[in-house]
Amino acid sequence: MSEYLPKDVREGLKLARTHNLKKKSRLRVRVGKEDFTILRYWEEGFALDVEDAPNLRGFVDVYDGAEHLSQCLIVASEEDDGQMVYEFKRETMIADRAPLDYERDEKAPIALIASH
């Protein structure tokens, strides 16, 4: 159906869709001191607006608002419908504590209460 619409109407709809995605998305990718809004995010990568995004590659940080989600090694993959698609070569999720190198017993005490 979209091929029956005039070219300027199709472009206007595309701009409105991109603007709506930018407005709703809390996800950001940070490269150095620059932030870019993530339009789409999936297990193997993410997409940015082609007009905003430079040809990124290397290490980047992914944020959801102020929360640091992951550190990624990325490579630019392709341009798809006005979006630049990036693929993860490696994605490391950020943890709020150091990993344990032993198994924690479920029934182990959490704290010691001293009696006086």
In this predicted structure, the answer to whether residue 31 has a pLDDT above a threshold of 80 is yes
For each of the domains in the chain, give its residue range(s) and CATH number, in order of start. Answer: 2-93 (2.40.10.430)
38 touches 46 (CB < 8 A) = yes
Q: Which of 78-87, 96-105, 107-116 has the highest mean pLDDT?
A: 78-87
* Average pLDDT over every residue of 57-79: 90
Instruction: Report how far residue 26's alpha carbon sits from residue 29's, in angstroms, rounded to the nearest whole number.
Output: 10
Model pLDDT, residue 75:
92
What is the Cα Rg of the chain in Å? Answer: 21
| End-to-end Cα distance, the chain | 79
Cα dihedral 44, 64, 85, 10 sign: positive
- pTM of the predicted protein model: 0.67
Model pLDDT, residue 1:
47
